[in-house]
Amino acid sequence: MTQNTGQEPSEGWREEYRGMKVLGKYQSELIENGPKSLAQSWMMQAMYNDWKKKKGIVDPEPPDCQSSMKEWEQSIKKYQTPGGIDGKGD
């Protein structure tokens, strides 16, 4: 599911969520038995996200890993040999 960040219990959220709102038969069975298919895991994730929203838990922003072509070209210059690729020094 998600990584335990110390803010929420790894499996205790299920019991807490069950007490937060009235669940239908399908949701109750998922909470009790866990998902058995991809679609059920999506439903579990939606319930988990709803629980986090109700608790006020906010995931941290992912790091910005973008770079430009210019930055990439500058970073590979240290690996290039003088004289170009074919060694003729175009």
**pLDDT, tens digit (0-9, with 9 covering 90-100), for 18-53:** 988 899 999 999 999 999 999 999 999 999 999 999
The answer to whether residue 86 is domain-embedded is no
Note down the domain range covering 25. Answer: 13-55
The answer to whether residue 65 is domain-embedded is no
Q: What pTM does this model have?
A: 0.59
Predicted pLDDT of residue 30 = 94
Q: DSSP label at 47?
A: H
Treating both helix axes as pointing N-terminal to C-terminal, what angle do 38-55 and 25-33 enclose, rounded to 10 degrees? Answer: 90
Predicted pLDDT of residue 56 = 92
The domain total for the chain is 1
